[in-house]
Structure 1
Amino acid sequence: MDAPSKKKPAELSIGRNMLWNSAGSLTYLALQWAITIVIVRLSSGYDAAGVLALAMTVFNIFSPLAIYRMYTYQVSDVKRENTLGEYATFRIITCAAAFAGCLVYAALTCPSSTFVAILLYALFKIASLVIDVLHGEDQLNMRMDYIGKSLMLQGIGTFVVFCTVLACTSSIEAAIAGMLVVTCIVGLVYDLPRTRMFSRIKLGIAKEKVLHLLAYCLPIVLAAIACAVVPSVPRQYLSILGGDAALGVYASVAAPAAVIQMGASYIYNPLLSLFSQRYISGDITGFRKLFGRALAAIAALGIAGIAGYMLLGPWILPLVFGESISAHLDLILPVSVMTAVSALLWFANDLLVTIRQFKNALIGNVISLAVTIPSSLFLVPLYGGNGVSFSIIISYLAGIASMVALSAIEQKRKKK
């Protein structure tokens, strides 16, 4: 590993790491969501909002290639098989490939008037993904306060600059460029000096290692894609049967429930390095205890989230979306359960990545995808929007069960 440039900062407790990571992540996500709201207020009509939505959609197509599931892989690399510089270089390579994909896709399928905005938005997201590599090193060294503060700076800075530039220029391209500049400044001025206290960043990676990582991590990339596709199958079928309005109602009710899944990730993400350390060291008892505590915390959060949404949803939803949504409050409970089950599936996914059981993760998510097709065809016509939630719940539970079974079989095989 590259030698640190300064004295290594002291580690923080798991609790403080969780708090800082949660606070930063929530601030960033909330302000990014707020941008999609204020853009309508700050511009004449909905054209700018449509361009921003298109830019987000195009990048999301290629984001799995840009991310390549490297963050989870990096924070569980407790043996330091790769240096920070190698992770950064690999991220730059995958982001460059994703950017090229965005460029070609936008040129072939999008209006020419949106081309610059799409590419600028892609660069903005790529800048934040490069900073994520620095955050991975921070997490390995138990200093997620750096991550939380960085996300707060990025969130507040991008929101203020986006609103200011858009209000002054009425240019969505200039506003997105402003977000790109702010993100780069935070990365260079705040993140880079702090991460360099743990490791110098010497860019470069051998061609053989690039090819190895591309091939080795491909199963978990495909697993993540399969996992993300599962909800789209019943949702699209609902749109076909009930029209855009039915899907719009479902999406509106489902959006607040996503807090359950986000909250679960804030619980277990700071623990991934510890899971890897205990597994590699052979401390299976310690691994199981940590797993039990994480699972209990996620379950408690899920129960609290479901109960909270059941209690507050009937009041919040009409306030936000109007009284017409009151006719669809029966969607709340299935949607809440679906989100809690989704959180468990992503926890299983990330845990299998930390212990390097990539094949089991892929098989489990492919099973989920396979189950969602017949379950959607059967349940959506019967139950409408609730059928979407039922289909996803059944599909994800099938995936979780298969991953647990496959992992148990592999552990028994290793003991022999």
Structure 2
Amino acid sequence: MSNRKTKELSVEQSLVWNSVGSMAYLICNWLITVLVVTLGSDISMSGSLAVAMSVGNIFATIVLLRARPVQVSESYSDFTTGNFIAHRIVATILACVICFFYCLVSVAFNDWAVVAVYCLFKAGDSFVDVLHGVDQVNNRLDIAAISQIVRGVGVLVSFSLCLLLFDNLVIAVASMAFVTIAVVLTYDFRMTKRFCAVIPDFDFTSLIKLSRICFPGFVASLACTAVVSVTRQFYGLSYGNEALGFYAAVATPTAVIQALVSYLYAPLLGPISAMWRENETHRLRLVFIKMLVSVFVLTAMCAMASAFIGEPVLTAIYGKEVGLHSDYLPLALVATAFTGLNFFTIDVFIAFGKPIIGTISGAASLALAVFLSRYCFVNPVFASDANVINIIILVAYGFGLLFSFLCIINLLNRKAKQSVTSEL
């Protein structure tokens, strides 16, 4: 281990590097969903990849366990990097067990192989988050950004070449896992060792304490992630991977909206926490209003643009067969914005010290999504219209958002009354 100091970045530089790295990685992963359609010999490959991504998102949520905010917070400085690495290893093993049983009841057997290798890819992708947390604490998010760019380009190139050479989705996704693990071992570990030891510390007491701190936010984010995953999988099981593949090809680019929403609110979490502690309820209301207006305007602009140019753009990217399904795009954009807002409320409740409210909201949304999926996808009235996926997601997330914002309003009103009472 080396403790020598390295030149730190300013907050502005860190934000720029983080945004560039995250967006580059996001674009590369999105292009993979494009290439599986254009380079694969069968549209069902897109459906299989969508299933793998759905399970992979659940897997990653379990592995991450909402530990990054704890790692970078000064309030929990008693935990070492070794504790977080050990915690991530245990969480990965737990995720493997949970997702195995999840696949038994929700994934067709012929998709198991691609799901397994995609989860291996997500394991490396999620593990490096611990090392990037060290980068963030030491104000060197340029290291994390470079890793994201290299890994993004690497998985994109390897996936494309393997799909062209072998026309086999399992081999193509396995190559993504190989590239990711290689970059983490040869670059990220080496860079992080300049700041601290990267040896796991399996201290039982620390692991239990860390798990208790992370658990409410983890459950909330897992339920929030599962709303989309479960709805898509119910549709795929009902109408087949080819039908799901068309929807996934159209809907996947909308992930950019969720990323933009996270970029909007991530810098606000610190000020929100400070305003809450200082009883600045009026400023908090203004922050929430500005956040909602910003997301509404962004989503409305994208939805209107998609209505006019969605079909020609999708046709140019995927081909005419996918372009004909451009009517999925506007609602998919709104559904994705709702996804981002739900994650925003989860983090707000964590900032307020009330994470259990986010857990209740997420669980209610998931329960509603499961109920609606089981009803709608066996009802002939809805045929195989994939827009039903978007509608179910919107209703489920809409219910969760309504509950969350009512709770936020109630908390702010109570906080304001307490402030007035203390001044009297």
TM-score (norm 1): 0.76
Alignment match, 1:406: 407
Q: Equivalents in 2 of 1:96, 1:169: separation in Å? A: 31
1:350-389 aligned within 5 A:
350-372=347-369, 377=375, 381=381, 384-389=385-390
Alignment match, 1:11: 9
1:246-285 aligned within 5 A:
247-273=244-270, 275-276=272-273
Q: Equivalents in 2 of 1:309, 1:351: separation in Å? A: 31
Q: Does 1:32 align with 2:29?
A: yes
Q: Equivalents in 2 of 1:266, 1:214: separation in Å? A: 26
Q: 1:12 to 1:371 in 2, by over 3 A?
A: same
Alignment match, 1:88: 85
- 1:225-279 Cα shifts (integer Å, max 9, x gaps): 3223333565567668877666554444323333211222233335545555665
Shift, 1:330, TM fit: 4.1
Give the aligned residue type for 2:7: P
Q: Equivalents in 2 of 1:241, 1:184: separation in Å? A: 35
Contact 1:139–1:270 (Cα < 8 Å) also in 2? no
SS in 1 for 2:10: coil
RMSD: 4.5
Give the aligned residue type for 1:398: F
Q: 1:287 to 1:208 in 2, by over 3 A?
A: farther
Contact 1:75–1:140 (Cα < 8 Å) also in 2? yes
Alignment match, 1:390: 391
Alignment match, 2:124: 127
Shift, 1:361, TM fit: 0.3
Contact 2:151–2:180 (Cα < 8 Å) also in 1? yes
Q: Equivalents in 2 of 1:42, 1:318: separation in Å? A: 15
Shift, 1:413, TM fit: 5.3
Q: Equivalents in 1 of 2:157, 2:397: separation in Å? A: 39
Contact 2:44–2:241 (Cα < 8 Å) also in 1? no
Contact 1:75–1:273 (Cα < 8 Å) also in 2? no
1:203-214 aligned within 5 A:
203-214=200-211
Alignment match, 2:223: 226
Equivalent of 2:64, from 59, 62, 67? 67
TM-score (norm 2): 0.75
Shift, 1:104, TM fit: 7.9
SS in 2 for 1:217: helix
Q: Equivalents in 2 of 1:112, 1:388: separation in Å? A: 23
Shift, 1:135, TM fit: 1.4
Shift, 1:91, TM fit: 0.8
Q: Equivalents in 2 of 1:182, 1:9: separation in Å? A: 29
Q: 1:282 to 1:207 in 2, by over 3 A?
A: farther
Give the aligned residue type for 1:267: L
Shift, 1:119, TM fit: 5.6
SS in 2 for 1:10: coil
Shift, 1:206, TM fit: 2.6
Contact 1:306–1:336 (Cα < 8 Å) also in 2? yes
Give the aligned residue type for 1:310: A
What is the aligned length? 412
Contact 2:147–2:183 (Cα < 8 Å) also in 1? yes
Alignment match, 1:314: 311
Shift, 1:80, TM fit: 2.5
Give the aligned residue type for 1:352: F
Greater shift, 181-190 or 159-168, is seen at 159-168
- 1:1-37 Cα shifts (integer Å, max 9, x gaps): xx981225333234x4343323222322333344456
Shift, 1:343, TM fit: 1.8
Q: 1:38 to 1:339 in 2, by over 3 A?
A: closer
Alignment match, 2:154: 157
Contact 1:257–1:309 (Cα < 8 Å) also in 2? no
Q: Equivalents in 2 of 1:202, 1:46: separation in Å? A: 44
Q: 1:136 to 1:310 in 2, by over 3 A?
A: farther
Shift, 1:311, TM fit: 3.0
Give the aligned residue type for 1:11: L
Contact 2:37–2:318 (Cα < 8 Å) also in 1? no
Q: 1:299 to 1:147 in 2, by over 3 A?
A: farther
- 1:20-63 Cα shifts (integer Å, max 9, x gaps): 32322232233334445657888888999898777656645533
Greater shift, 171-180 or 187-196, is seen at 171-180
Shift, 1:333, TM fit: 2.9
Greater shift, 76-85 or 90-99, is seen at 76-85
Greater shift, 364-373 or 338-347, is seen at 364-373
Q: Does 1:183 align with 2:180?
A: yes
Structure 1 gaps, min length 5: none
Shift, 1:74, TM fit: 3.0
Q: Equivalents in 1 of 2:91, 2:127: separation in Å? A: 10
SS in 2 for 1:156: helix
- 1:207-227 Cα shifts (integer Å, max 9, x gaps): 123223334433333222322
Greater shift, 54-63 or 23-32, is seen at 54-63
Contact 1:76–1:354 (Cα < 8 Å) also in 2? no
Q: 1:85 to 1:222 in 2, by over 3 A?
A: same
Q: Equivalents in 1 of 2:82, 2:10: separation in Å? A: 24
